């Protein structure tokens, strides 16, 4: 009976976490943080491709335990946000994919007014779309991310803004000799990416918060982050301080956004650029 009880208890304490997050920095970080708190957490990755709207719906229904996203007020109000920026704010520092022939025009940008002559392309469901609209910048949206590349080449809009840590890899995934990464502009806004946990899983949210805070406190978060993203190489490649910085406000940024915790952010929000 004793042996049976032990075996049963092992099954009871095992905790399956259902997530839409694929193999990535986001998954590695979450797994490391959860193991710190409870080694019995087991990740179950869904292979179904979901847009943002469906991720929220499935989380509210209790079918998805956690996913990640750039934050927005509706997301923070409906779900349980873990307010530790996964990318240390890097995702809000956007470089641009443009048409090769447009570089000379972008080279003339010295201000937001100059930049406003160009039209952005964005995924309809991404919070970035609302930020760009609120800044009164022209924008065209698509319900499917993959459609943005042929739309850009075809002249439907002038640039696609992506996080600096992802832009080269994303362009490699959608190779097109007509497209390139702009050399002039850094589009910047404070809109951190968080893990969002289903309201059905408050203990998971608490454990994930605790694990991440522990990693921040002992420096292992920064160590893993710098190694994964090769931050020194990225800074040298992106040349952030040699770009014109177009800073946008983030409408409705939650008052609990940890803007006063410098240990959670890169120093990019303090650089002056060339403007």
pLDDT at 235: 95
Whether 174 and 220 map to the same domain: the answer is: no
pLDDT of 275: 66
Closest by Cα among 157, 145, 170, 149 to 95: 170
Average pLDDT over residues 78-85: 98
Neighbours of 139 (CB within 10 A): 17
Determine, yes or no, domain membership for 268.
no
Q: Are residues 80 and 62 in the same domain?
A: yes
Question: Is residue 217 included in any domain, yes or no?
Answer: yes
Same domain, 125 and 204: no
Cβ contacts of residue 64 below 8 Å, gap of 6+? 18, 19, 20, 46, 50, 55, 58, 198
Answer whether residue 216 is part of any domain.
Answer: yes
- Is residue 106 a part of any domain in this protein? yes
Within a domain: residue 75?
yes
pTM of the model: 0.84
| 176 and 102 assigned to the same domain | yes
Asked if residue 138 is part of any domain, the answer here is yes
Query: How confident is residue 13, by pLDDT bands cut at 50, 70 and 90?
Result: low
Q: Are 101 and 29 in contact (CB under 8 A)?
A: no
- My answer on whether 79 and 18 are in the same domain is yes
Look at residue 247 and tell me if it is in a domain: no
Residue 172 burial class via C-beta count within 10 angstroms: exposed 0-12, middle 13-18, buried 19 and up: exposed
Asked if residue 145 is part of any domain, the answer here is yes
User: Residue 4's pLDDT is what?
Assistant: 37
CA distances 101 to 12, 16, 195, 242, Å, are 61, 50, 38, 21
pLDDT at 39: 81
Last residue of a domain, one of 158, 189, 220: 189
Q: What is the CATH number of the domain that holds 119?
A: 3.40.190.10
pLDDT score of 2:
40
pLDDT at 245 over 90: yes
Q: Which domain holds residue 73?
A: 2-89+191-236
Looking at the structure, tell me whether residues 35 and 170 fall in a common domain: no
Burial of 136 (0-12, 13-18, 19+ CB in 10 A): exposed
pLDDT recorded at residue 254 = 92
Last residue of a domain, one of 189, 214, 244: 189
| Whether residues 82 and 123 fall in one domain | no
Both 140 and 210 in one domain: the answer is: no
Q: How many domains does the chain have?
A: 2
Reported confidence tier of residue 38, pLDDT bands at 50, 70, 90? confident
Is 21 in the same domain as 83? yes
**Domain end point (choices 128, 156, 189):** 189
Q: With beta carbons less than 8 A apart as the criterion, state whether 252 and 193 touch.
A: no
């Amino acid at each position: 009976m004793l042996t049976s009880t032990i075996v049963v208890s092992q099954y009871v304490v095992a905790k399956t976490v259902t997530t839409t997050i694929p193999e990535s920095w986001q998954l590695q970080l979450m797994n490391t943080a959860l193991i710190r708190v409870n080694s019995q957490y087991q990740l179950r990755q869904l292979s179904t491709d979901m847009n943002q709207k469906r991720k929220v719906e499935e989380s509210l229904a209790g079918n998805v335990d956690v996913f990640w996203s750039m934050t927005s007020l509706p997301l923070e109000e409906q779900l349980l946000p873990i307010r530790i920026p996964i990318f240390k704010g890097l995702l809000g520092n956007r470089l641009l994919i443009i048409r090769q022939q447009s570089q000379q025009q972008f080279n003339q940008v010295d201000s937001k007014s100059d930049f406003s002559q160009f039209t952005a392309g964005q995924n309809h469901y991404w919070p970035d779309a609302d930020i760009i609209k609120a800044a009164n910048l022209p924008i065209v949206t698509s319900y499917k991310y993959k459609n943005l590349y042929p739309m850009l080449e075809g002249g439907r809009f002038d640039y696609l803004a992506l996080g600096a840590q992802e832009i080269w890899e994303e362009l490699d995934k959608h190779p097109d000799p007509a497209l390139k990464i702009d050399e002039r502009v850094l589009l910047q806004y404070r809109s951190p990416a968080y893990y969002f946990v289903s309201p059905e899983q408050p203990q998971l949210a608490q454990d994930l918060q605790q694990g991440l805070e522990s990693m921040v406190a002992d420096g292992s978060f920064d160590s893993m982050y710098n190694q994964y993203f090769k931050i020194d190489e990225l800074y040298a490649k992106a040349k952030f301080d040699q770009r014109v910085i177009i800073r946008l406000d983030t409408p409705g940024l939650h008052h609990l956004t940890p803007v006063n915790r410098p240990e959670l952010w890169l120093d990019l929000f303090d650089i002056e650029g060339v403007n």
